[in-house]
Amino acid sequence: MTGLVATDITRTYVRHGSSRTALDGVSFTLPPGGRIAVVGESGSGKTTLLRILLALGVPSEGTVELDRRTVRPGSVRSLRWFRRLVQYVPQDPATSLDPRRSVLDLVATPLRLLGVDGDHRAKAGAALAAVGLNERYLQRRPTELSGGQNQRVAIARAVACEPQYLLADEPVSGLDPDLREQVLAVLAGLPSAVLIVSHDLSAVARLCSDVSVMHDGRIVETGSVRDILTEPQHSCTRDLIDAVPRLARPSQEIH
């Protein structure tokens, strides 16, 4: 099967003689061109799954494959092929954007590290344009930008090398409504497959076609966004929907 595929992923942590299972037999696929969400309450295991999908964590059992090629954590060089195809948008750009560096340097760095051919300044400018920021932002620093602009810079950095898959962790968390809609519109317009990891079902309804619900390290419900949000089968799904009352009824935003 093509795409980013996790099969029977289990992740168990052992500390001081006791064990805790963060993931328990999770299987998941992000197909080419897909718009998928993984949702769940805090502690459900979705961030652990994201780290394993990004080759930043090692499963205790199970495998991750990208287009039938096994993915494991490794050196920058050994994972260069993977990083060219799969990029990441963090939840909080303030923790990932060095305030001492210019936007140009921040967006161009992955191009340099991944050995992308061509004019890196031009590619950085094109990536910024794709997220609605013009070239006058290239010489600015993160401290000179708003939270929404920094989030768009983080997206630009992720898409500059034209990845086929984009994984985003709570990409609109903490943004005000206007900035939230701007960032969601940017993500919706990208040509790559997108995986959103979130507890925000309103963002999921805006962007995704399918959703998997996680609870206690397991995927307990999977289906189309419309079906899951209008006819939830699991109690934790209903709890997530109840946290966003306007999604408890069908909406034209739901795919």
pLDDT digit string, tens, across residues 198-246: 888 888 888 999 999 999 999 999 999 999 988 988 898 888 888 775 5
- Which range is most confident: 65-69, 185-189, 202-206, 250-254? 65-69
Higher pLDDT, 249 or 215: 215
pLDDT for 182 beyond 70: yes
Q: How many CA atoms lie less than 13 Å away from 193 in the CB half-sphere?
A: 19
Q: What is the mean pLDDT of residues 77-95?
A: 89
The pLDDT confidence band at residue 247, using thresholds 50, 70 and 90, is very low
Cα–Cα distance between 193 and 210 in angstroms, integer? 12
Cα–Cα distance between 108 and 81 in angstroms, integer? 17
Give the long-range contacts of residues 77-84, CB within 8 A, separation 24 or more: 79/55, 80/114, 80/115, 82/55, 83/110, 83/113, 83/114, 83/161, 84/114, 84/116, 84/161, 84/163
Instruction: Give the start-to-end residue ranges of the domains of the chain.
Output: 4-247
Greatest Cα pair distance in the chain: 56
pLDDT value, residue 178: 79
Q: What is the mean pLDDT of residues 5-26?
A: 93
pLDDT for 174 beyond 80: no
Backbone Cα Rg of the chain:
18
Express each pLDDT in 123-173 by its tens digit: 999 999 888 888 889 999 999 998 888 888 999 999 999 999 999 998 887
Cα–Cα distance between 36 and 214 in angstroms, integer? 13
pLDDT value, residue 146: 86
pLDDT value, residue 130: 85
pLDDT for 189 beyond 60: yes
pLDDT for 7 beyond 50: yes
The pLDDT confidence band at residue 186, using thresholds 50, 70 and 90, is confident
pLDDT value, residue 251: 44
The pLDDT confidence band at residue 249, using thresholds 50, 70 and 90, is very low
Q: Which CATH topology does 4-247 take?
A: Rossmann fold (3.40.50)
Across 77-209, where does the E strand assignment appear?
86-89, 165-169, 193-198
